[in-house]
Chains A and B, each alone.
Chain A
Amino acid sequence: MEVAELLERARPVALAAQRALPVTPALTFLLPGGLRRGSTVAIGAGAGSGPGATSLLLALLAGASAEGSWAALVGMPEVGPEAAGSMGVDLGRLALVPDPGEQWPAVVSALLDGIDLVAVRLGGRLRPRPVDARRLAARARHQSSVLMVTGAPWPEGCDLSLDVVAGKWEGLGAGYGSLARRRVEVAVSGRRAASRGRRAVLWLPDESGRPEPIDDTLVALHP
């Protein structure tokens, strides 16, 4: 028997739970099985999507980051590290690549090799050709990482799309108060197992900067 074959046989069995990355409790209703490894996720790129994509992206990273996964943000020079930290992202395991340059598909592809969650903001120089999109999605699948895109639609379509469909800040009056928390409605759609369109209402963020579910009874199953 060849060594490679032996190694293949001796490899530990990957359980379904290990094939998915955990998500923060506020998002478990939307993603009951967690984030499936090897998938591509679009955030805030749908038609009816409102503001709040950055917070939603950080909240998605938080669950896996707290469990020891690494994350990278590509083409996002403006993301606030303090907000990321309070959302629950471990800053020691967060790499920032603010300007990946012309060869950004190669950079993203390299990151997918060893980092579980790679998020890319499209737009400007980061305009994916269909061939790049196909290659990067295949890379993520092969390396069991999750590729997240935001800012513009992904040419090939994504396995999962999350959008903030409504959001409202609380705590601010006419000349008094301060921004305290934001109530958002997040919709998820997808083309595989997670394709049931679910919607959930959550605080993103709540008063302490964390994502929190509001109340399970307010959550409605969308047809």
Chain B
Amino acid sequence: MSRSMVVWYPDWPVVASGVVGPVAVTHASRVVVASAEARSEGVRVGQRRRQAEAVCPGLAIVGRDEDRDARAFEPLVAAVAGFCPTVEVIRPGLCAFSARGPARYFGGEESLARQVAEAVDAATAAASGTRGEGCRVGVADGSFAGTLAARRGRIVPPGATAEFLAPLSVRELGRPELADLLERLGVRTLGQLAALPAPQVLSRFGWEGAAVHRLARGLDERPLDARRPHEDLSVEDELDPPVERVDTAAFVAKALADRLYAGLVKGGWRCTLVRIEAESEHGESLCRTWRHDGTFSAATLAERVRWQLDGWLTGPTRPTAGLTKLRLVPEEIVVDHGTQLGFWGGMAEADRQAARVLARVQSMIGPDGVLTAVLDGGRSPIERATLIPWGDQRASRRRPELPWPGRIPPPAPARTSAPAGSVALEDSGGRPVVVNGRAEPSGAPARLRPDRGPELTVSGWSAPWPCQERWWDPDGHRRRAWMQVAVEDGRAFLLAAEGGRWSVEAVYD
């Protein structure tokens, strides 16, 4: 049985944000993590952001950013790696290593835990300037029990892990659905779960049940069939020119993760532990191991690699030159039992194929070459949609369903950024049509003269309507008048007057 020492930093996203005082980290308007000060004021995880701000005035709100969390965690992992080079990062804020060797060298588990905690706290203070509440270190048999021990700051003696786990709730397993089911069946603590006979647990709850049953009995959490790969499944890439920027590195990481994943799939494997290695132009070599609670998918793998590269390239231990080599080594693999695809929803084969193709096109013309659109809130046709590089999260910045007074009425124009640019609008006497402060035109438009191309005869026009945006903001303030104009050849345009000049904002093609 392996002794596992786990280092846990409470509320890591709060510490990573670098903000002191009451802080809440939010995602999709809900609190994900709150600092101790905020919690004492009544802020709770899962609360709506507005509610949290109401119970705790002066609460600082920070958006969730996993990249930032991972980046800030790298110096801490480096500090832990000073005690044991084979640290496994489970997620930002949580890492584990095998305690047996280091404990002997550093004078016992207790002394090792104290020294690790001091080193990590010193690294945090040096890196982010805040100490938070300090990290907690726990030791137990296996990293699941170790994590629970770390949350309580306890050192569980060897062989006593089962007793330590027995009174804890089945919720600690981190599988809410299974925990719900177990509780409804009357199994409330890990001790009660451990008391059930293993064959029956397997036949009733399947592999997931068998795995948590092992955890509850204080046995090794590794899947039963986990093994080191007997063949070389690692993938590597020479980076030429050397990579110094995180976004380029992330792009390489994605391609590499896809390759590793493809290799694993071919052998029918899945990976639970991966080592990320990088070499710089000056021969420095960097190495870090990441563990996944379940198994890595191509996307989660790419994410871990990106976090790690971000940590290396922007952290205090940054290499002195660009990275020239990147290597992914699967350290521990399990047999892929396959997943039953959902009957409805989920990712169909066509979606996966399209994702592959788009990633390939990105590798040809750059990550920003392939975009996807999301509808956004706003008034002008250009504001009504945001273009996001393919693969990034599709999220609107402003809410499209709000009324947006003064916006262009539907139907939406088919072409937004016009090819024409500025235009001249004239009435029948050849005088330019201008709009006054009350959005009244000086005459009836009769001719539209684009920068290029022939003059067009106006066949219909709407009354200009004013649109004033962000009047409170001296920089973002815009005052425009909109007008729709149809011309005789069947085309229609959306014109905007701003500062006495007309421009074509969109074409109803």
Question: Which residues of A line the B interface, CB within 8 A?
Answer: 50-55, 58, 68-70, 72, 77-86, 91-101, 103, 106-107, 110-111, 113-116, 166-169, 172-182, 205-209
Contacts and interface: CB of A to CB of B under 8 A. Distances in A.
A83 B412 contact: yes
A77 B463 CA distance: 29
Contacts, number: 170
B373 A78 contact: no
A192 B51 CA distance: 64
A85 B375 contact: yes
A168 to B, nearest CB: 6
B208 to A, nearest CB: 30
21 contacts: A53-B509, A54-B415, A69-B350, A81-B373, A82-B385, A83-B413, A98-B371, A101-B365, A107-B361, A107-B365, A110-B364, A115-B354, A116-B350, A169-B508, A172-B460, A175-B462, A179-B409, A179-B411, A180-B411, A181-B411, A206-B411
Contact of A80 (B361, B364, B371, B385): B385
Interface in B141-188: none
A176 B486 contact: no
Contact of B365 (A50, A91, A97, A167): A97
Interface of B: 348, 350-351, 353-354, 356-358, 360-361, 364-365, 369-375, 381, 384-385, 387, 390, 394, 409-419, 441, 444, 460-463, 484-486, 489-492, 506-509
Contacts of A175: 441, 444, 461-463
A211 to B, nearest CB: 10
Contacts of A95: 354, 358, 370-372, 390
A50 B489 contact: yes
B360 A94 contact: no
A111 B509 contact: no
A122 to B, nearest CB: 15
Contacts of B370: 95-97
Nearest to B352: A114
Contacts of B415: 54, 78-80
Most buried by B among A72, A82, A100, A174: A82
B390 A54 contact: no
A177 B414 contact: no
Contacts of B371: 95-98
Contacts of B460: 169, 172-174, 177
Interface pairs A-B: 8 shortest CB-CB:
A114-B357, A81-B373, A172-B460, A81-B385, A209-B411, A82-B412, A54-B509, A54-B414
B503 to A, nearest CB: 14
A68 B357 CA distance: 16
Given A78-B417, A111-B361, A174-B461, 4 more contacts: A81-B375, A82-B412, A96-B370, A96-B372
A208 B412 CA distance: 9
Nearest to A181: B411
A126 to B, nearest CB: 13
A70 B349 CA distance: 12
A82 B412 CA distance: 6
Given A50-B490, A80-B506, A209-B411, A94 B373 contact: yes
A205 to B, nearest CB: 4
A192 B351 CA distance: 31
A98 B354 CA distance: 17
B410 A91 contact: no
A52 B413 CA distance: 11
Contacts of A167: 490
A91 B486 contact: no
Contacts of B356: 114
A60 to B, nearest CB: 13
B484 A182 contact: no
B361 A83 contact: no
Given A81-B373, A82-B384, A84-B373, A110 B357 contact: yes
